[in-house]
Amino acid sequence: MSENPATPATDATDATDANAPEAGAPEAGTQGSPAREAASQGAASRAADEPAPRTLGATAVSAATPRRGEPMFPDGTGPAADPAGSHHERRIRSFQPRRSRVSPSQADALRRLWPTWGLDIDGLSRIDLDAFFDGLPVVLEIGFGMGEATAQMAAADPGTGILGCDVHTPGQGNLLGLAERNGLSNIRVANGDAIILLREMLAPASLAGLRVYFPDPWPKKRHHKRRLIQPEFLALATTRLAPGALVHCATDWEPYAEQMLEVLSAEPTLENLHSGYAPRPDFRPLTKFEGQGLDKGHVVHDLLFRRRDA
C-alpha cells in the first residue's frame, strides 16, 4: 500500500464553516472513534522525518501507559494527541477526545500500521484520496467506535475504500488490528476533528459516501448544539460529496432521529431515498452497541439520502 499521500492545500474551500462540535493482506512495510461521534500529514512533508514503517511481522511493542500529560506515542509512530494544535479555531465540538488505556495489541497495531494506514487531521495539507486508497471510491465514516462494523463493511465491499474518522485511541488501534488480521487493504484511519478533515483536507466532490452511525445524541437540551448533524455541518459535508454519493445516518435516540430527518430533508443538495426513515440496509451490520439499545427497547432509525446530480 502506498505511503500517506497529501499535497499542500492551495485553495480556500467555499464551504460554510461548521459550528457543530462535532485490507488482501497488506504488503509488508505498509500501513493503513467508543466516541460516538467524531487526516494525514503528507508523505512529501514528513517522509524524511518519520521512521520507516515496520514490517508486519515485527516484534510486538509493549504498551506502557504514559504518565499524565505525556504523549502516548512520543516517537511519532502513532496518532497525535492534538493533531490540529492551536492553528485552528476553537469552537463547540460534538465529541470528547478519549485517550483511554490502550491494550498491548492495540498499541502494537498503532505503532506498526499508523505510518501508512493512519493519518492525523492537522488541517495543513490536502489528502490525495486516489493515491491513499489506490484509486478506490472512498466513503467517510465519522465515529467508528471499536471498528467491528467498519471492518465487516470493508470485508463485504472490498471495492470501496473506508476512511474512518475518530478520536478514540483504543478503537483506532483495534480497527487497524482487525484490518491487518482480516486482510482488509481498503481501510484507513483518520485521527481528529471531522470538521477540519472535511473543510481543510478533502477536495470538493471527492467522497463517494458519508456514514454517521450512532453519534452522541447529547440528550440534554442545553447540549443539542453539540450534535453533529446540523445544517452547518451538512452545508460543508455535501460540498465534499460527488454526485450520487450516499449519506447514511443511524441513531437509536428518537429525538435525534427526528432532528436528523428534518435537517437532512432541508438540505437542498440531498434527496431522500425513502418517504421518511429507511429500513436498515443489509450492508450496515448490527453492532454490539445497537444490540444493547434494542434490548432496552430503543428503536433504531436509518436515514438514506443521496447527493443530487446538480
Does 128 appear as a known binding residue?
A: no
Q: What is the structure's pLDDT at 101? A: 84
pTM of the model: 0.75
- Judge whether 308 and 243 are in contact, CB under 8 Å: yes
* CA nearest to 128, candidates 188, 185, 191, 54: 188
Residues 33, 11: Cα–Cα separation, whole Å: 29
Does 122 appear as a known binding residue?
A: no
Q: What is the structure's pLDDT at 38? A: 39
Does 302 appear as a known binding residue?
A: no
Q: What is the structure's pLDDT at 45? A: 39
* CA nearest to 195, candidates 160, 140, 237: 237
Does 252 appear as a known binding residue?
A: yes
Number of Cβ within a 10 Å radius of residue 260: 26
Does 3 appear as a known binding residue?
A: no
- Judge whether 261 and 303 are in contact, CB under 8 Å: yes
Cell 464551504 maps to which residue? 15
Q: Domain segments of the chain: what residues?
A: 104-307
Does 290 appear as a known binding residue?
A: yes
In this prediction, the residues of the chain whose per-residue pLDDT falls under 50 are 1-2, 5-65, 69, 94
Q: What is the structure's pLDDT at 13? A: 37
Domain 104-307 has CATH 3.55.10.10: no
Residues 144, 162: Cα–Cα separation, whole Å: 11
Sign of the alpha-carbon dihedral angle for 106, 111, 114, 120 = positive
Angstrom CA distances, 295 to 30, 97, 252, 288, 290, stand at 41, 28, 11, 11, 9
Written as nine digits, the cell of 125 is 495539507
Q: What is the structure's pLDDT at 58? A: 31
Q: What is the structure's pLDDT at 90? A: 54
Residues 231, 262: Cα–Cα separation, whole Å: 10
Does 50 appear as a known binding residue?
A: no
Q: What is the structure's pLDDT at 42? A: 38
Written as nine digits, the cell of 70 is 505525556
pLDDT tens digit sequence for 224-273: 999 999 999 999 999 999 999 999 999 999 999 999 999 999 999 999 99
Contacts 24+ apart (CB under 8 A), 221-225: 224/259, 225/19, 225/20, 225/21, 225/92
Does 193 appear as a known binding residue?
A: yes
Would you please indicate which residues are annotated as catalytic (active-site) residues?
Answer: 216
Does 283 appear as a known binding residue?
A: no
For every residue of 87-143, DSSP letters joined together read SS-----S---B--PPPHHHHHHHHHHHHHHEEE--SSEEE-HHHHTTT--EEEEE-
Does 89 appear as a known binding residue?
A: no
